[in-house]
Amino acid sequence: MEIKVVKDILGANEQIAERNRHLLDSKNVFAVNLMSSPGAGKTSLILETIKRLKQEIKIGVIEGDVSSSLDAEVIGKEGIPVIQINTGGECHLDANMTYRALDNMPLQDIELLLIENVGNLICTAEFALGEHKKILISSTPEGDDKPFKYPLMFHTVDAILINKTDLLPYLRFDTDAYSRAVKGINEKVEIFQISCATGQGIQEWVSWLLTQMNRRYGGR
């Protein structure tokens, strides 16, 4: 019985997510769902992405957190539209919360929407938001065994950013073994090695993102 309830919740979420995607497509807004465990660098990646792209394209951000608006305040300083969602205890964003945020966003003035999900590697992977791409930020201090522990997340995403590569000399993180494990779960996933601290790999990530946007909505 419990299984059916879960399926109903996810089914209803899927429908709202589909509506969100239609709304985004009607305004040519490309949306990415950024997921990771707490502290892997979602907010830092958003800031690096804004830094490299804000002269070129119009960016908006949705910040998902259980509570507080700390990250939204940091990003708000960049002078771009930011909406904070406080999930009030829920450990993931869902399509309905995302819809309420979209409803308050000036979508006509946005080309790229970065959605920072709640820090959590489990149920964030299950709830579609209406995004066009799902991204995982996996940081080196978390260890290279995560693909084995959270296979759904690794299976679901379109790209994985291995963040904090500047710390590799101090850690036992085998990048090759990690990448092999990831490809075993998700053959098509793109893997980028980045460091928000040094800027390594950020340009490659940003170029990939622009390519995905152009594929969806044509050259701008």
Footprint of Mg ion on this chain (CB under 5 A)? 42-43, 71
The least CB distance from residue 37 to Mg ion, in Å, is 11
The least CB distance from residue 43 to Mg ion, in Å, is 3
| Whether the Cβ atoms of residue 49 and residue 205 lie closer than 8 Å to each other | yes
CA distances from 29 to 1, 9, 20, 42, 167 (A): 39, 26, 11, 20, 35
What is the rounded distance in angstroms from the CA atom of residue 147 to the CA atom of residue 153? 8
- Residue 6 touches Zn ion, criterion: CB under 5 A: no
Name the binder of 43 from Zn ion, Mg ion, none, CB < 5-8 A by kind.
Mg ion
The string over 44-66, giving b where at least 16 C-beta atoms fall within 10 Å of a residue's C-beta and e elsewhere, is: bbbbbbbebbeeeebbbbbbbbb
In the complex with Mg ion, the residue whose CB is nearer, 114 or 153, is 114
- Residue 9 touches Zn ion, criterion: CB under 5 A: no
Nearest residue by C-beta to Mg ion? 43
- Residue 123 touches Zn ion, criterion: CB under 5 A: yes
Q: Which of 91, 155, 199, 215 binds Zn ion (CB under 5 A)?
A: 91
